[in-house]
């Protein structure tokens, strides 16, 4: 069994190359999207890596926009066409990094697939995740022209609050990053193919990547296979809209965490932590 990594990157090409280089070719393959606003020349090392399939349809991604969902769908369709036997698909950003040897990560997933076929998502219901505003109101996040916010206000003045997908599903959300079996992803793609109105609805929500897959799996026959966690260590203790950027002083905490991956890292802030993790993972 091999694992397909979907990596969404927009900056720090050397860091992205280091991330990809942690995953052995015989166990993993990396499907990489480079934001259209970045220079592809800067990512030449990534593009030419032997264990990389570069997504040709490069999109300009905007914060909280639908584009992140579309990039994931683009990658999933490539994976579906592949002749490789991918048992798990793992979605991550270019600012993630392993905190344990990736061979151990693969061993863990291989055992899970053989025995229980668990799905690794961070799942919260609306009782604990205050995310209803993301879909109750219309959001035009992918609009990058003047007048977006005015248009949103007018629409939301005229139209009452919406139920999630017209009440056809119970919404769940939290983290956009997951590791899921090929079986669930096949189910999810088939659902999306049969229900184009679902995608139409998501295009007018805020940050749909943080609830689309969570909601799909919790409204599916795979619900009972969801593991309580997504195998990623993320620190939200600073109370910001983005998680903490790890530095050298966080190494001990990361190595003690039970997870296999962590985010986020930024070599422009501190590259010593990445060097330490590279050595530890080896």
CATH number at residue 32: 3.90.550
**CA pair distance 162, 151, nearest whole angstrom:** 17
Looking at residue 130, what is its pLDDT? 86
Q: What is the pLDDT of residues 172-227, one digit of tens each?
A: 999 999 999 999 999 999 999 999 999 999 999 999 999 999 999 999 999 999 99
Residue 281 pLDDT more than 90?
A: no
- The predicted pLDDT at position 143 comes to 87
- What is the model's pLDDT at position 214? 97
Cis preceding-peptide flag for 264 (omega within 30 of 0)? yes
Structural domains of the chain, count: 1
Q: Per residue in 125-165, pLDDT tens?
A: 988 888 899 999 999 999 888 888 899 999 999 999 999 99
Look at residue 279 in the predicted model and tell me its pLDDT. Answer: 86
Reading the block at residue 228, the tokens are 């309580």
| Pairwise pLDDT comparison (83 vs 26), residue with the higher score | 26
Average pLDDT over residues 37-50: 95
**Average pLDDT along the chain:** 95
pLDDT (0 to 100) of residue 280: 78
Q: What's the average model confidence in pLDDT over 36-46?
A: 96
Its pTM stands at 0.96
pLDDT digits (tens, 9 = 90+) for 74-123: 999 999 998 888 999 999 999 999 999 999 999 999 999 999 999 999 99
Domain range for 152 is 2-281
Q: How confident is the model at residue 273 (pLDDT cuts 50, 70, 90)?
A: very high
In 3D space, the residue among 33, 7, 4, 214 whose CA is nearest the CA of residue 106 turns out to be 4
Please count the CA atoms within 13 angstroms of the CA of 82 that sit on its side-chain side: 19
Which of 166, 174, 164 has its CA nearest to residue 230?
Answer: 174
At 282 the pLDDT is 64
Residue 160: which residues within 8 A CB-CB, separation 6 or more? none
Residue reference for tokens 């609009």: 143
Quickly list DSSP for the chain. Answer: -EEEEEEEE-S-HHHHHHHHHTS-TTTEEEEEEE-TTS-GGGGHHHHT-TTEEE-SS-----TT-THHHHHHHHHHHHHHH--S-EEEEEEEETTEEESS-HHHHHHHHHHHHHHT--EEE-EEETTT---THHHHS---TT--STTHHHHHHHHHHHSPPPPGGGGTS--EEE-S--EEEHHHHHHHHHHHHH-HHHHHHHTTSSSGGGTHHHHHHHTSTTGGGEEES-SEEE--TT-SSSPPPP-GGGHHHHHHSS-SEEE---TTT-SHHHHHHHHHH-
169: tokens are 């599903």
- Cα distances (angstroms) measured from residue 97 to each of 21, 176, 256, 282: 10, 16, 15, 13
């Amino acid at each position: 069994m091999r694992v397909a990594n979907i990596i969404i990157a927009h900056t720090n090409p050397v860091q992205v190359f280091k991330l990809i280089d942690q995953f052995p070719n015989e166990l993993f393959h990396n499907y990489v999207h480079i934001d259209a606003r970045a220079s592809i020349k800067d990512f030449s090392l990534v593009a030419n890596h032997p264990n990389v399939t570069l997504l040709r349809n490069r999109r300009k991604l905007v914060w909280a926009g639908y584009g992140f969902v579309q990039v994931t769908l683009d990658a999933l369709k490539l994976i579906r066409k592949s002749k490789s036997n991918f048992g798990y698909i793992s979605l991550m950003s270019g600012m993630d990094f392993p905190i344990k040897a990736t061979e151990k990560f693969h061993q863990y997933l291989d055992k899970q697939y053989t025995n229980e076929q668990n799905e690794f998502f961070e799942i919260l219901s609306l009782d604990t995740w205050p995310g209803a505003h993301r879909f109750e109101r219309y959001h035009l996040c992918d609009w990058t022209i003047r007048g977006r916010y005015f248009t949103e206000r007018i629409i939301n003045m005229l139209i009452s609050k919406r139920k999630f997908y017209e009440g056809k599903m119970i919404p769940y959300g939290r983290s956009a990053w997951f590791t899921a079996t090929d079986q669930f992803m096949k189910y999810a793609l088939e659902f999306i193919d049969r229900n184009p109105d679902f995608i139409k609805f998501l295009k007018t929500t805020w940050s749909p990547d943080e609830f689309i897959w969570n909601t799909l799996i919790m409204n599916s026959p795979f619900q009972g296979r969801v593991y309580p966690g997504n195998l990623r260590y993320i620190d939200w203790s600073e109370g910001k809209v983005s998680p903490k950027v790890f530095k050298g002083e966080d190494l001990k905490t990361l190595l003690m965490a039970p997870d296999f991956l962590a985010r986020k890292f930024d070599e422009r802030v501190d590259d010593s932590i990445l060097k330490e993790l590279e050595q530890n993972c080896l």
